Amino acid sequence: MPPPTRTHHQFWPKRLPHSLTPPATSLWDNLEISARRYPDKPALIFFGRIFSYGELRDTAQRLAARLHDLGVRKGDRVLLDMQNCPQLVIAHFAILRANAVVVPVNPMNRAEELKHYIEDPDAKVAITTADLAGEIAKASDALPSGQRLSHLIVSHFTDAFDPDMEGADALPDAWRDWLLTRHPLPALAGGEAMSWPSALDTQAPPPLLEVGPGDLAVLPYTSGTTGLPKGCMHLHSSIMHNAVSSSVWGNATAETVTLLVVPMFHITGMVSVMHNNIYTGSTQVLMPRWDRELAGRLISRWQVTAWTNIPTMVIDLMGSPNFSHYDLTSLVYIGGGGAAMPQAVAQRLLEQFNLRYVEGYGLTETAAPTHSNPPDDPRQQCLGIPFMSCEARVIDPETLQEMAPGEQGEIVVHGPMVFAGYWKQPEATAAAFIEFEGKRFFRTGDLGRVDEDGYFFITDRLKRMINASGFKVWPAEVEALMFRHPAIQEACVISAKDSYRGETVKAVVVLRASHKGRVSEQDVIDWCREHMAVYKVPRIVRFVDALPKSGSGKVMWRTLQEAEGRGE
């Protein structure tokens, strides 16, 4: 009988090895090689505008030359704050080509949140779209002079497409103002804002490529149970491994056409979709944000073959009154993560389209997948089996001893996709790893079990976190922001059930005596919308006279969470 950690090998795709040797090159080389192989092949499609691989490479090289001209050198961190668009892909690879490090930022963040993403990584240059530029400038201006941005490169969405050109995909009416409005360049205290066309207007060559597998490539931030978000140090090698593995695991080829709607600032969209497709030489149809009718039209028009998503997107699309008019017959791969796919929806996909929804699991710290269901043998509402080159165990979080199959414990993982550590936080890094069987395993903080066949399942959370439609919301971060409201004396953030999002954010608030009767729950919600990303905003606010506390004075959030679960 095989050891319990290897039982999943009997379900392993027979065409694939259990581990992978990724290229010993930089991430930039993936674009360079695909552009050499397929110079005229569509790389990106954005509202009907097609970018070939040759054009994508050449544009990224010009922007890399500009970044070098602005003083960006090897290892420098460059902020990238955009919704999905061609400029994001160009900027991402330009930063890598300039030997620098991409700091991807959620475009929903507001100025108060953005200050940390400028200050913590010591970023001096940021690249963004015009609709977000004002927030970044506001955040930079609020910092001490030595910590501000020196340069801000600003693009309009229409720098990448012409809505009036023949063959353009129709814009959703609700997006027209957002995508088409021209914004003036913001003033940047102590620095300079530059338009996208000006940034690309250079004949200078890019610098010599100096980075390789062992160099820092991407610094995505993740929140946690305490404190401000922490930067996850990913080398070219960790991103490369999961990009290549995702391509192989999903049967991708240069003929694959992918719908890229999961956000590329997030590790899944960045690695499992964008980097995967650039490595493979596939075509990516970009959506800046979710709209079910546009998604249906794009899948139909461009004959999309692969779609990585959040389950709520599939549920929404299948609920469209126009669903029967969309042609989904081109799809051969559909999957995702972030939340469990309801069994009834997965069953409908199988019966109506012969599509098996492939769920996976991973974290920012692990370059997305550490687990995935075999595409040929997926199980519903299951994390899957350990991914290529990955080892996973379920251990007792206290004794660190491995649990028997079926027993709950903390999921820990080891493999080349695991990050190098938290930026500037050696103590947090040390706490995140354990030595197990002579290897360094990362503690995910998620509780789960593994069955007799080696498939993993989530059962609970060790970490305090809310999962709202796949977006991770960390209560400590929301509370820290809410404490800046002049009326709030104390706040405790918990999860509440939501029929669509699965979970939503609820804040239990104690008002200062001076503000009681003068501030409403809706006032607090409105204030939160102005000061934090919309997915973090409490949908429910409840005022109380006091929060439950332990003998040491700590807020007993679990007591409030359990009361919420009982409907109290």
Maximum alpha-carbon separation in the chain: 69
Inside any domain, residue 25: no
DSSP state of 492: E
Q: What is the dihedral of CA 512, 516, 522, 525, to 10 degrees?
A: 0
Q: How far apart are CA 429 and CA 419, in angstroms?
A: 10
Residue 527 belongs to domain with CATH number: 3.30.300.30
Q: Which of 193, 211, 229 is where one domain is finished?
A: 211
- Kindly report whether the global pTM for this prediction surpasses the value 0.85: yes
Rounded to a whole number of angstroms, the CA Rg of the chain reads: 23
Give the number of other CB atoms < 10 A from CB of residue 257. Answer: 21
Q: How far apart are CA 508 and CA 299, in angstroms?
A: 43
Q: Which of 164, 193, 211 is where one domain is finished?
A: 211
Inside any domain, residue 376: no
Inside any domain, residue 23: no
Q: What is the dihedral of CA 102, 104, 107, 113, to 10 degrees?
A: -110
Instruction: Domain count for the chain, please give it.
Output: 2
Q: Are 273 and 264 in contact (CB under 8 A)?
A: yes
557, HSE (Cβ side, Cα atoms, 13 Å):
18
Closest CA to 314 of 335, 333, 329, 284: 335
Per-residue tokens: 356: 């098996």
Where are the extended beta strands (E) located within 246-345?
Answer: 257-260, 283-286, 306-309, 333-336
Bridge partners of 358, per DSSP, are 335
Backbone angles phi, psi at 159, to 5 degrees: -70, -15
The domain in which residue 104 lies consists of 53-211
Inside any domain, residue 89: yes
pLDDT in tens, the chain (568 residues): 344 456 788 889 899 999 999 999 999 999 999 999 999 999 999 999 999 999 999 999 999 999 999 999 999 999 999 999 999 999 999 999 999 999 999 999 999 999 999 999 999 999 999 999 999 999 999 999 999 999 999 999 999 999 988 888 889 999 999 999 999 999 999 999 999 999 999 999 999 999 999 999 999 999 876 678 999 999 999 999 999 999 999 999 999 999 999 999 999 999 999 999 999 999 999 999 999 999 999 999 999 999 999 888 998 999 899 999 999 999 999 999 877 787 888 888 999 999 999 999 999 999 999 999 998 888 888 999 999 999 999 999 999 999 999 999 999 999 999 999 999 999 999 999 999 999 999 999 988 999 999 999 988 666 778 888 878 888 888 988 898 899 998 899 999 988 877 889 999 999 988 899 999 999 999 999 999 999 999 999 999 999 987 765 678 888 898 889 888 7
Q: How far apart are CA 430 and CA 441, in angstroms?
A: 11
Per-residue tokens: 269: 């969209």
3-state secondary structure of 410: strand
Residue 144 belongs to domain with CATH number: 3.40.50.980
Helical packing angle, 343-353 and 311-318, nearest 10° = 60
Inside any domain, residue 481: yes
Q: Are 131 and 183 in contact (CB under 8 A)?
A: yes
Q: Which of 211, 239, 256 is where one domain is finished?
A: 211
Q: How far apart are CA 496 and CA 539, in angstroms?
A: 9
Per-residue tokens: 58: 């050449």
Inside any domain, residue 189: yes
